[in-house]
Structure 1
Amino acid sequence: MDERTYQLIGPDYPGNRAEDVKNPGLIWMMGFIFVVSFLGLFSLVPLRKVMVMDYKLTYPSGTATAMLINSFHTKTGAELAGNQVRQLGKYLSISFCWSCFKWFFSGLGDSCGFDNFPSFGLTLFKNSFYFDFSPTYVGCGLICPHIVNCSVLLGAIISWGFLWPFVSKHAGDWYPADLGSNDFKGLYGYKVFISISLILGDGIYNLIKIIMITVREMCRTTSNQTSLPVVTEILADESSQLQLEQKKRDEIFLKDRIPFWFAASGYVGLAAISITTIPIIFPPLKWYLVLCSYILAPALAFCNSYGTGLTDWSLASTYGKIGLFVMASVVGPKGGVIAGIASCAVMMSIVATAADLMQDFKTGYLTLSSAKSMFVSQLVGTAMGCIIAPLTFWLFWTAFDIGSPDGPYKAPYAVIYREMAILGIEGFSELPKHCLAMCCVFFVAALVINLLRDMTPKRISQYIPIPMAMAVPFYIGAYFAVDMFVGTVILFVWERLNRKDAEDYAGAVASGLICGDGIWTIPSAILSILRINPPICMYFGPSVSS
């Protein structure tokens, strides 16, 4: 929404008005971040047991963090624990070294290195079917259940194997053929809105399911029940070590309950402050529009947290695009760009922080930590971020030419999001042909698949794919699905060869792969700040016959 982005798009660009400009300022940015960043933390607190214990969502990054923390504090079960720590350290080192090795060949831009290795040939590579040698997502495949990984791969095959090539064949008929890769009027519009339809269909179904179960149980009993009976609880007479450990985790996780009234009052109170403050910062975004956003936000936060728990992908930017598109359409030509971009930031903040908190609750659950401590830590960390993030941005904004196409920090998404807001002003009528019809079909399909999963016997339902997991590659790409499927194949073979070893060490191996790759981002960021670029660009192209 700044002046530079306005000039980059061009004053003559239809809908790009000079009035729809707001340049960064340290004070208003810090105030805006403070009033929107805490709402997500309160939005899903009452559902923490449902997400972590009842649905048993994996949250791979949270699980990997817990494994790493536990490895530093294990004093019992000496032999097994020691072996797990050694496996974690071994694969953490391998993952870190591999990520370092990959960096040398990654060159400048996004088209170099092992991240763009055409494993299955150049034709499939163009449709994003390739293995990018990512330790993180191979590790996620090791942690996530087989049905999740297979659902992700099925979604990739449906979207990138059939649907997007089919839609692309109608370029020039269904949408203009000369559009950019991030233009809502083209193929990108299908990708974003169809994936959103699948996600919302699955998320809304599960949210309604939880509400119905809660109401039914409240009507059935007047006892002081502290949990939602979505799955069967562990029986008191179960005596195996694993069951006893899980029972202990359950007790500690539920002991420090965060009261519903506290979460609800916190959300309402912060929303009231935001509803008053945001229209002052962004006048086109009226108070009643902010109120509508906060009414819908918890449902979207649930969908995002549920999806993150399944696949480790937070699609906060996708939900932000919903807010951007809808608000720009509602406000219209006069102020719609500013209102849309601001609403996008509000929605992204809520759904992202909610998913992060649930990820931390998973870590706390596995490390026997107090839920209240995890919540307070998130509050403190968020408060620190509200100060540090604007200061860091301001340092870069004043020291470098941010957004310049010829500079080191091009900020390409600034142009993309402003153009999205300009398109949103025209409403859904500007979407490509048949896009809304396809969205409705996939939304209904998500509901039907969930009904089948709940109504069919266990022996059948365990093979029915999960729509939320299927939706992720629709938007992200098929390479992510290939990575996770490699992980699930490794685990499957491992289980066939030695099930006990797989059960004992798969989590440690996966955590090592995820943590090693994650730790490498620190030296990688330092090298980037120091403007030290990778020395080699490894690129693959078709051979040229002489």
Structure 2
Amino acid sequence: MLLIAAAFAAPALLQPLGGVRWWHLLVAAAAAPFAALANTRAAGATDISAAPAFFAAALVAFAAWGGAGGGVGVGLVAAGLLLGVAQSAAEMGFSFAAGYTTLASPTAVFVAHVVGCVAGALFAPFAYALLSPALPPSPLAAPARAVAALFAQGGARALPAYAGWMGLAALVVGLVLASVRQVISSRARVMVPMPVVMGVIFLAGANVAVGVAFGAALRIAWRWRHPRSADAYAALVGGALIAGDGVWGVGRALLASFGVAAPICMSFAPAPSAVP
């Protein structure tokens, strides 16, 4: 709530953007608890925060609402508000999970987050106003502003072809799956996918989706054959595989530096440099 209240100072801090009105922030503040709840649920089920997705959705919606007369400022402020609230909620969930693992007091974890929110709400606007003239622009600022300008000018027409219908279909599928999981038995529930996990995997990218699916299949097979060892060591093996995937980055860089051609549908080439 303190983060939401502090966001109402944004019009004064972001006067060059213009167009931000109190009702824009009121609607964004009303949507923020729902974004926080949904993101906490997603982060709890997958350990991946979907806050950037709420940022993108709010950026598009509020920029189109603000229109050509100030949609850029409206979209950036509202999207930043939802991003901060959703990410803070997910971080609190991560902290509670870590506290549970380390036997820390839940009250102490909650108090620490409250203190952090108070400090951030009070001092972050002043720190921004003081330091922003001396700091380089964020690498995400220009793309976000460009997207906001695009939708402020074109509204919903700026969406790619069939994007709206695909989003609506995903919403309907998610609601149906969530409703089905609530009414069936716990034994049958394992056969129905969780819509929140499906959504986060779509955000994470195809490489993560393939890895998660392959790992889940291996764990199911392992638990079917050796349930005791699977329950005891599955998390350890998963962590080791994640670490190994990070180490593979070194091998990938070496193969790319020596010009080794990939034998199958992968690439060892370095990432393309950013266009100035």
- TM-score tier, shorter chain, comes to 0.7 to 0.9
Q: Shift of residue 398 of structure 1? A: 5.0
Instruction: Look up the equivalent residue of 1:416 and give its one-letter code.
Output: P
Of 168, 193, 216, which residue of structure 2 is paired with 1:488? 216
Q: Distance in 2 between matches of 1:325 and 1:474?
A: 19
Q: Distance in 1 between matches of 2:65 and 2:238?
A: 46
2:143 maps to 416
Of 300, 305, 309, which residue of structure 1 is paired with 2:35? 300
User: What is the SS of the residue equivalent to 1:314?
Assistant: coil
Q: Shift of residue 322 of structure 1? A: 1.7
Of 17, 25, 44, which residue of structure 2 is paired with 1:290? 25
User: What is the SS of the residue equivalent to 2:52?
Assistant: helix
Go from structure 1 to structure 2 and tell me whether the alpha carbon gap of 1:270 and 1:450 turns closer, same or farther (over 3 Å shift).
Answer: closer
2:270 maps to none
Q: Distance in 1 between matches of 2:75 and 2:120?
A: 27
Aligned 8 A contact 1:282 1:339 in 2:
no
1:537 aligns with 2:256: yes
1:458 maps to 186
Residue by residue over 1:84-111, the C-alpha shift from the partner in whole angstroms, topping out at 9 and shown as x without a partner, is: xxxxxxxxxxxxxxxxxxxxxxxxxxxx
Q: Distance in 1 between matches of 2:7 and 2:81?
A: 10
Go from structure 1 to structure 2 and tell me whether the alpha carbon gap of 1:273 and 1:348 turns closer, same or farther (over 3 Å shift).
Answer: closer
Per the normalisation by structure 2, the TM-score is: 0.75
2:7 maps to 274
Q: Distance in 2 between matches of 1:371 and 1:519?
A: 32
2:107 maps to 372
Q: Distance in 2 between matches of 1:510 and 1:362?
A: 18
Instruction: Look up the equivalent residue of 2:150 and give its one-letter code.
Output: L
Aligned 8 A contact 2:50 2:203 in 1:
no
Q: Shift of residue 295 of structure 1? A: 0.8
1:342 aligns with 2:63: no
Q: Shift of residue 427 of structure 1? A: 1.5
Q: Distance in 2 between matches of 1:375 and 1:519?
A: 32
1:478 maps to 206
Instruction: Decide which structure has greater helix share.
Output: 2
- How many equivalent pairs are there? 249
Output aligned runs, 1:118-157, within 5 Å: none
Instruction: Look up the equivalent residue of 1:339 and give its one-letter code.
Output: V
> For the pair shown, which has the larger CA radius of gyration, 1 or 2?
1
2:267 maps to none
2:271 maps to none
Go from structure 1 to structure 2 and tell me whether the alpha carbon gap of 1:507 and 1:435 turns closer, same or farther (over 3 Å shift).
Answer: closer
Go from structure 1 to structure 2 and tell me whether the alpha carbon gap of 1:299 and 1:542 turns closer, same or farther (over 3 Å shift).
Answer: same
Residue by residue over 1:431-470, the C-alpha shift from the partner in whole angstroms, topping out at 9 and shown as x without a partner, is: 2333222322221221112222222333433201111111
Aligned 8 A contact 2:219 2:234 in 1:
yes
Output aligned runs, 1:3-152, within 5 Å: none
Q: Shift of residue 474 of structure 1? A: 2.8
Instruction: Look up the equivalent residue of 2:12 and give its one-letter code.
Output: I
Residue by residue over 1:187-227, the C-alpha shift from the partner in whole angstroms, topping out at 9 and shown as x without a partner, is: xxxxxxxxxxxxxxxxxxxxxxxxxxxxxxxxxxxxxxxxx
Q: Distance in 2 between matches of 1:304 and 1:542?
A: 39
1:325 maps to 60
Q: Distance in 2 between matches of 1:509 and 1:474?
A: 24
Q: Shift of residue 492 of structure 1? A: 2.6
Instruction: Look up the equivalent residue of 1:301 and give its one-letter code.
Output: A
Go from structure 1 to structure 2 and tell me whether the alpha carbon gap of 1:493 and 1:457 turns closer, same or farther (over 3 Å shift).
Answer: closer
Q: Shift of residue 299 of structure 1? A: 0.6
Go from structure 1 to structure 2 and tell me whether the alpha carbon gap of 1:274 and 1:505 turns closer, same or farther (over 3 Å shift).
Answer: same
Q: Shift of residue 356 of structure 1? A: 0.7
Instruction: Look up the equivalent residue of 1:479 and give its one-letter code.
Output: N
Aligned 8 A contact 2:36 2:85 in 1:
yes
Instruction: Look up the equivalent residue of 2:48 and give its one-letter code.
Output: W
Q: Distance in 1 between matches of 2:245 and 2:92?
A: 19
Aligned 8 A contact 2:202 2:209 in 1:
no
Go from structure 1 to structure 2 and tell me whether the alpha carbon gap of 1:368 and 1:519 turns closer, same or farther (over 3 Å shift).
Answer: farther
- Unpaired runs of 5+ in structure 2? 265-276
1:229 maps to none
Q: Shift of residue 384 of structure 1? A: 7.5
Q: Distance in 1 between matches of 2:91 and 2:145?
A: 27
Instruction: Look up the equivalent residue of 1:372 and give its one-letter code.
Output: T
Q: Shift of residue 380 of structure 1? A: 4.8
Q: Shift of residue 343 of structure 1? A: 1.9
Q: Distance in 1 between matches of 2:199 and 2:235?
A: 25
Question: RMSD over aligned Cα, in angstroms?
Answer: 3.4
Identity of aligned pairs, percent? 26
1:444 aligns with 2:163: no
Aligned 8 A contact 2:42 2:196 in 1:
yes
User: What is the SS of the residue equivalent to 2:256?
Assistant: coil
Go from structure 1 to structure 2 and tell me whether the alpha carbon gap of 1:517 and 1:367 turns closer, same or farther (over 3 Å shift).
Answer: farther
**Which structure would you say has the larger RCO, counting Cα contacts within 8 Å and 6 or more residues apart?**
1
Aligned 8 A contact 2:7 2:81 in 1:
no
Q: Shift of residue 477 of structure 1? A: 1.8
Go from structure 1 to structure 2 and tell me whether the alpha carbon gap of 1:315 and 1:503 turns closer, same or farther (over 3 Å shift).
Answer: same
